Structure 1
């Protein structure tokens, strides 16, 4: 086992977050595809702790249910501890330790559930500093431009050692001038932590058990109290309202796009491009302005997306082009083209060099290599073979009011414009359908299907039924012989 591997990570996520002004618990608000606590769990998971416990309180059922999903991929799994009354951070950590038997032999890292910008790399540095310096407790600190509202780090002037952390509300004017702040993230010796928590008092302005008081208790007992300064103060920013949530989203999005660009992705306008943490790219993919990439979306080598596109859980193949499109749960084959103004719904599978054109909607449909649906069509619950062309204004009529039915169109077919394919129906390989047809019966391979009424012209109808109208006058003028002035 690594010397820097913590025995436990305790995540504090019991608070209500009233300043969010939301029915959703604060730690479940999302940015860049993950909840606040989900980001913290991802960073904590990089430490590979022996135990990971989340202290829940407000809306415990909702938060606990979310943790099952958010903790996917964490090797040790997630345990929860219940803080029935929010009596301070020290009390919350005590609840976490009780879930682990009351004391832990080894390093215990404590993090806040509302710090989504905190990285695994910073937590690893904290753990390594704590172990390497032989500290009883190591606090993660940061120098910030404005320390209002944060606990101040008070150091010994001679040695620079941390002597106390003073909450803003309890600080003197001189202490409030200090810009080094407490992040709320700590590494403790587990046994010393458990002992010190039993000595924490509540004689402060809030009548709460402050976790920060543990530092003074340990220092007075002769133990070493150290600090690890975060390289970027923005990492420790907590989220208390929606303004801060938006600010954090911007910072995290910029971080994600920077990583992508340095890895060989062209992001034409980072300011108008938004991505989730779970989106992946390959080299030489291109993202145009006003594009939102969500979920498990992946852009393969040379893929090009945007402008004005939103893709969720969508795989875009090498060299494919997706323009002004909304896609959800779709697969776009290599060198395929989509849009502009297309809608790919879940279950859409596009083959190599296929085409989905302007104002086309697809759903639960497989479209073969080289097949084209160029204009103004709806294709739902269908399988279309290779190198087929679907005429403009076609509708795959898949719903009978109760059940969905499937349509099959074979390879190398040419279907006419304004066709209706009333499922279930099959059009065989190499078949044609005439424009304006309503296809209700199977079409054999190589056949021409004509399913429309015979045209009948009633001459003179306009003159009889609409006399004196502009149409009647135009028809009368058109019917005159050349040179006839009467």
Structure 2
């Protein structure tokens, strides 16, 4: 997309993860959280990808490599302050900025593409990706007048009636660059947290007569952010089922999906049968018409066609077509 940059907010300390590893580097099914975000962002062909980093930035920078530009948020002073770190990349750009969190690996290309297309076609100044959650959630509530968003009320500031609103802010936005250049420098930290909130830009824009719209997705799970190990496990399960479904729809038989672990980089060709309690990991390739028996583990290996594997461990191996490996083998 021409003149459209993505800013990925990946500076959060992730204190609820209780870890020395940056939150966005925690793996889901063997793949770092931030890599999932990169996968769908890269497919949308942004002009530039900016990653805002914080504590442990060296580790994040190593993962990002040449795929994007990392900028360091030295002090954690809120989402508005985080976006300000990318100022040099949109200060002179006449175009658009999408802002999203690096801890949302369940988002999909289709949701983001529809969100962006709706924003571009509308001609509005800002668009916010929204969804419905029950009133127990602590997300910011969306206050609307039909297709126009009037404000976002943070849960802690919401009245009893406002807390009953189920449409919430997911934290993914599209802005015209002129809007960010105009209002980001005006943000102040006069709030309970002493931070610069990106959501305050919305209020300023509405007050100034700019057009703010919301794009609603029914897939609330896809918008889920990850803040602790419980949510990490839940998101891992959802992603695992997505991959299992892709494999089954492509012609692979998985006898018991609930008890089968297959990582995202594993490729399996049609007519292969995978029995329960198997673990297929790393960059593994399995050819057509194989049988992968229960309690097998395969990691970073290649299996040719018509291989039969009975309760064995295969690591860093190439198994020739038609090979039969009996139970309790370790290669």
TM-score (norm 1): 0.66
CA distance in 2, matches of 1:325, 1:154: 57
| Mapped contact 1:97–1:103 kept (Cα < 8 A) | no
Give 1:65 deviation, angstroms.
Answer: 1.6
> Could you say which residue in structure 2 is the equivalent of 1:372?
none
- For structure 1, the 5+ residue unaligned runs are 72-76, 345-486
> Could you say which residue in structure 2 is the equivalent of 1:47?
44
> Could you say which residue in structure 1 is the equivalent of 2:232?
245
Give 1:147 deviation, angstroms.
Answer: 4.8
- For structure 2, the 5+ residue unaligned runs are none
Q: How does 1:393-404 map to 2 (within 5 A)?
A: none
1:92 aligns with 2:79: no
| Mapped contact 1:169–1:205 kept (Cα < 8 A) | no
1:269 aligns with 2:256: yes
Give 1:6 deviation, angstroms.
Answer: 5.7
Aligned with 1:102 (options 91, 105, 127): 91
| Mapped contact 2:50–2:70 kept (Cα < 8 A) | yes
CA distance in 1, matches of 2:69, 2:326: 47
Give 1:170 deviation, angstroms.
Answer: 2.0
Specify the SS of the correspondent of 1:335: coil
After superposing the two structures, state which structure 1 stretch, 333-342 or 122-131, moved more. 333-342
Specify the SS of the correspondent of 2:36: helix
| Mapped contact 2:303–2:320 kept (Cα < 8 A) | yes
Aligned with 1:62 (options 53, 59, 63): 59
The 3 A distance-change label for structure 1 pair 275 and 140 is same
CA distance in 2, matches of 1:145, 1:280: 38
The 3 A distance-change label for structure 1 pair 147 and 37 is farther
CA RMSD of aligned residues (A): 1.5
Aligned with 2:102 (options 83, 107, 113): 113
> Could you say which residue in structure 2 is the equivalent of 1:16?
13
The 3 A distance-change label for structure 1 pair 255 and 147 is farther
> Could you say which residue in structure 2 is the equivalent of 1:32?
29
The 3 A distance-change label for structure 1 pair 120 and 326 is same
> Could you say which residue in structure 1 is the equivalent of 2:278?
291
CA distance in 1, matches of 2:128, 2:255: 40
Q: Deviations over 1:72-129 (max 9, x none)?
A: xxxxx3101110101100110010223x153432121111011111112211111111
Q: Deviations over 1:31-85 (max 9, x none)?
A: 02211111111111111111001000111112212222xx6xxxxx310111010
CA distance in 1, matches of 2:303, 2:34: 30
Give 1:146 deviation, angstroms.
Answer: 5.0
| Mapped contact 2:272–2:287 kept (Cα < 8 A) | yes
Give 1:160 deviation, angstroms.
Answer: 3.7
Larger helix fraction of residues: 2
> Could you say which residue in structure 2 is the equivalent of 1:458?
none
Specify the SS of the correspondent of 2:202: helix
1:128 aligns with 2:141: no
Matched positions, count: 331
| Mapped contact 2:79–2:198 kept (Cα < 8 A) | yes
> Could you say which residue in structure 1 is the equivalent of 2:143?
154
